[in-house]
C-alpha cells in the first residue's frame, strides 16, 4: 500500500521527523490496527466467508460506503483493505477538500496505474459533507475503474449520498463495538510495549480514591462510614471489576456480564445466605457461589493457571497494604487493627 504524499524519497531528517511524530501521536492513532488480526469488531463483514472477507481474499473489492457511528473503525478498515489488496491509498476529508482535490487524486491514481500498475482506493471520510456537485465529480472515475471508491459516513447514505453514486457502490453497515470488544482494545493498548502503554501498571494507594480532596484525617471518614453501616444495617460487598486470570499481559479484565451478575445478586439480597470463605491474604469473606457467575471466577487464585505466580503476587500486594497502613495505625482502635491486612509469612 502506498499513501498520498509518501511516494517521494525521504531525507534522513524527514525520516527522523516522521518517527518523532509517530511516537508523539495520540494513543488511538498509535494503536491503529495494522492487520485484520488486530482489527476488532465487524465480524458480520470480516468473519470467514462474509462479504468483505471474501472480497479482500479474492482481490475483488467493490466501491463501497461504510456506514456506522464514530469509533467503529471505518477509516482503519479502508486502509487495511488498501494494504491487503496491494492498492495505492488516497485519503481525503470531505470537511476540508473540494473538487480540485478530487481531480488531483484522480490524476495521481492514473499516474500510479501507468507507472506502477497499481489500482487506487480513494477514501473519502465524512462523504455526507460533500454536496451533489462534489459527489458528481467522483462518479465517472468510479464508473471507468480509475479508482475504487470507499466513503465513510455516520449518516444514512440513502439520504446523504447521491443515487447515481450509491447505485455503483455497496453499502456496508458497521456496528458499535460491544463492551467485551472495547475491553479487548483497552487490554491490547495496555499490554503493547511497542505502540501502547506497555509497562506493567503500578499499584497506588489513595484513601477513599480521593486523598487530595479529603481535608480531614482518613480515620474521620472511616468512622463516619462505620456509623452509617451500623445504623442502617448495611451489608458491604467488594466487586471485582478489574484484572482476572493472570498477571498483567496474561489475564484479562473481569467480564462485564459477570460483574453485572454479582451486582444484581448483592443488590437483590441473594448473597445473604450463601456460603463464604475467608481469603487467606486479604481476610475478606468470598462467596462460594453467585447466580450466573462461574464458581472459579469468584476466587482470584482459581483463575490463574500459574498458582505460584498468584501466591507471590498476592503476598506482595498484601505487604504493600500492610506498609501503607502503618501511617494510620496510631490513630485507629484495636478493632480496626485486628481487621487490617497482614501479609502472610
pTM more than 0.85: no
For Cα atoms 72, 74, 80, give the angle at the middle one, nearest 5 degrees. 120
Q: How many CB atoms lie within 10 A of CB 138?
A: 26
Say how many residues make up the chain.
345
More confident residue, 99 or 332: 99
Third-level CATH fold of 2-180: Rossmann fold (3.40.50)
- Please choose, from the candidates 31, 114, 132, 110, the residue with its C-alpha nearest in 3D space to the C-alpha of residue 122: 110
Cell reading at 17? 521527523
- Report DSSP state, residue 208: G
pLDDT at 4 over 80: no
Q: What percent of the chain has pLDDT over 70?
A: 91
For residue 61, count CB atoms less than 10 angstroms from its CB and return exposed for 0-12, middle for 13-18, buried for 19 or more: buried
For Cα atoms 277, 282, 284, give the angle at the middle one, nearest 5 degrees. 40
Distance between CA 56 and CA 82 in Å, rounded?
Answer: 9
Residue-wise pLDDT tens digits, 39-93:
999 999 998 899 999 999 999 999 999 999 999 999 999 999 999 999 999 999 9
Distance between CA 215 and CA 247 in Å, rounded?
Answer: 35
Distance between CA 195 and CA 27 in Å, rounded?
Answer: 8
pLDDT at 125: 96
Cell reading at 249? 499481559
For residue 39, count CB atoms less than 10 angstroms from its CB and return exposed for 0-12, middle for 13-18, buried for 19 or more: middle
Residue-wise pLDDT tens digits, 200-259:
666 778 877 777 777 888 888 888 998 999 999 998 898 877 778 887 767 788 888 999
pLDDT band at 97 (very low <50, low <70, confident <90, very high): very high
Q: How many CB atoms lie within 10 A of CB 66?
A: 28
pLDDT at 140 over 70: yes
CB < 8 Å & 24+ apart, contacts of 284-292: 284/238, 290/261, 290/262, 290/265, 291/261, 291/264, 291/265, 292/257, 292/258, 292/261, 292/264, 292/265
Q: Considering the domain 200-339, what is its CATH architecture?
A: Alpha-Beta Complex (3.90)
Q: Where in the chain is the domain with CATH 3.90.228.20?
A: 200-339
Per the prediction, the chain carries an average pLDDT of 87
Distance between CA 206 and CA 209 in Å, rounded?
Answer: 5
Q: Where in the chain is the domain with CATH 3.40.50.300?
A: 2-180
In three-state secondary structure terms, 257 is: helix
- Please choose, from the candidates 263, 268, 258, the residue with its C-alpha nearest in 3D space to the C-alpha of residue 296: 258
pLDDT at 8: 45
Cell reading at 243? 484484572
Distance between CA 249 and CA 199 in Å, rounded?
Answer: 10
pLDDT at 1: 45
pLDDT at 186: 85
Amino acid at each position: 500500500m502506498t499513501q498520498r504524499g509518501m511516494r517521494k524519497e525521504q531525507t534522513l531528517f524527514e525520516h527522523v521527523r516522521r518517527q518523532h511524530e509517530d511516537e508523539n501521536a495520540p494513543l488511538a492513532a498509535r494503536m491503529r490496527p495494522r492487520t485484520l488480526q488486530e482489527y476488532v469488531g465487524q465480524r458480520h463483514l470480516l468473519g470467514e466467508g462474509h462479504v468483505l472477507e471474501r472480497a479482500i481474499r479474492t482481490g475483488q473489492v467493490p466501491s463501497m460506503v461504510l456506514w456506522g457511528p464514530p469509533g467503529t473503525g471505518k477509516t482503519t478498515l479502508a486502509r487495511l483493505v488498501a494494504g491487503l489488496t496491494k492498492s495505492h491509498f488516497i485519503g481525503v476529508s470531505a470537511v476540508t477538500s473540494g473538487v480540485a482535490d478530487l481531480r488531483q487524486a484522480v490524476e495521481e491514481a492514473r499516474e500510479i496505474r501507468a507507472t506502477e500498475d497499481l489500482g487506487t482506493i480513494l477514501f473519502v471520510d465524512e462523504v455526507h459533507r460533500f454536496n451533489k456537485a462534489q459527489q458528481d465529480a467522483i462518479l465517472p472515475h468510479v464508473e471507468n475503474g480509475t479508482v475504487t471508491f470507499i466513503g465513510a459516513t455516520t449518516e444514512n447514505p440513502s439520504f446523504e449520498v447521491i443515487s447515481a453514486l450509491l447505485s455503483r457502490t455497496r453499502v456496508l453497515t458497521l456496528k458499535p463495538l460491544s463492551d467485551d470488544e472495547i475491553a479487548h482494545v483497552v487490554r491490547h493498548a495496555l499490554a503493547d510495549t511497542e505502540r501502547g502503554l506497555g509497562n506493567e501498571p503500578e499499584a497506588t494507594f489513595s484513601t477513599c480514591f480521593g486523598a487530595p480532596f479529603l481535608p480531614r484525617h482518613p480515620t474521620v471518614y472511616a468512622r463516619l462510614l462505620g456509623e452509617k453501616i451500623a445504623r442502617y444495617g448495611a451489608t458491604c460487598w467488594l466487586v471485582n471489576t478489574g484484572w482476572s486470570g493472570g498477571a498483567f499481559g496474561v489475564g484479562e479484565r473481569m467480564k462485564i456480564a459477570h460483574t453485572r451478575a454479582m451486582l444484581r445478586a448483592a443488590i437483590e439480597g441473594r448473597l445473604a445466605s450463601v456460603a463464604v470463605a475467608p481469603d487467606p491474604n486479604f481476610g475478606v469473606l468470598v462467596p462460594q457461589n453467585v447466580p450466573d457467575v462461574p464458581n472459579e471466577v469468584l476466587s482470584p487464585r482459581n483463575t490463574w493457571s500459574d498458582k505460584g505466580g498468584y501466591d507471590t503476587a498476592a503476598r506482595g500486594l498484601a505487604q504493600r497494604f500492610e506498609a501503607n497502613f502503618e501511617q494510620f495505625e496510631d490513630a485507629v482502635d484495636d478493632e480496626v487493627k485486628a481487621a487490617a491486612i497482614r501479609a502472610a509469612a
